[in-house]
Amino acid sequence: MTERTGQAGDGTGGSVPTTPVCYRHRDRETYVRCSRCDRPICPECMREAAVGHQCPDCVSEGRRSVRPARTAFGGGAAGRHGYVTKALIALNVLVMLLSIASDRGGDAAAGGSGFGGLMGGATPLTQWGGVLGYASYVDFGAAHGIAAGEWYRLVTAMFLHYGLVHLLLNMWALWVLGRTLEAVLGPLRFLALYLIAGLGGNVAVYLFSAPNSTAVGASTAIFGLFAAIFVIMRRLGRDTSAIVPILVINLIFTFTVPGISIAGHLGGLVAGALMALVLAYAPRMRRTVFQAAGGAILLVALLGLTLVRTGLLTGG
């Protein structure tokens, strides 16, 4: 019932319709109707539409029936805001501050040996969370490292840095590459790419570096992003000529600058490329399932390599 009728007493004995009332507020008269369902709506119930106004029920129904926008690779459109990229940068900065605080007056921020002393030195936090294969600390007899069961190092190392210069270089690259990839892939797929690339680089450090050496830095994940943006742009048919020189320059630095983990950079590059191939070339039908399965296979492979290296170091 959308209108009230009654005997108006017009002198002829007939009934005259009264003013329509809002279907949600029966005490409010209105001549405005929903452009979708034609029910009377009062000013409080009016919702702006492309044509005229709609009632709250029709607006809610329309939102349920409209599929959310997706990227070319199945990700959410929220990626264009770069929330994950910003969160990763904030997390790295926070960990750097904690690392400096843990050093208590040392060379955590600068004054280390790298880049003519511009890089920072080790801190208790980098010692705790860096990629370490299997070794005893100077003041302790017990063995530490991934082979000793400290698997968390494979993750924590990608959020630790040796000083502010190390941090700033990586965060600048993450800001430039991350926003582009997150907008194309969506937040969740971009985060999966970042973590798989970082983990892949750290596993490579564990496999190919000396067991008593320590490595930290987001550059394992950053190199994965370099590889991924090349794969993604090629998949979209876009020009990649500007990406190749930057990647080559970074590889030259990797092999020529002392103190840089070659294994970590190359491992991140390979892992990032493989994850990007999974995300970019997944078939459109059941794309999410294929992407999740591909990521899981890469994760299992990395964990398998870690187990093999652990067995070699411990004799198990």
- Distance (Å, whole) CA 38 – CA 35: 6
Cα pseudo-dihedral 88, 306, 299, 226, rounded to 10: 50
Instruction: Catalytic residue, from 99, 209, 219, 261: name it.
Output: 219
Eight-class DSSP state of 140: -
Amino acid at 309: R
Q: Are the C-beta atoms of residues 96 and 120 closer than 8 Å to each other?
A: no
Cα distances (angstroms) measured from residue 239 to each of 184, 244, 275: 15, 10, 21
Active site residue 219: yes
HEC string of 177-243?
HHHHHHHHHCHHHHHHHHHHHHHHHHHHHHHHCCCCCEECCCHHHHHHHHHHHHHHHHHCCCCCCCH
- Distance (Å, whole) CA 227 – CA 201: 13
Active site residue 144: no
Q: Which residues are catalytic?
A: 219, 265
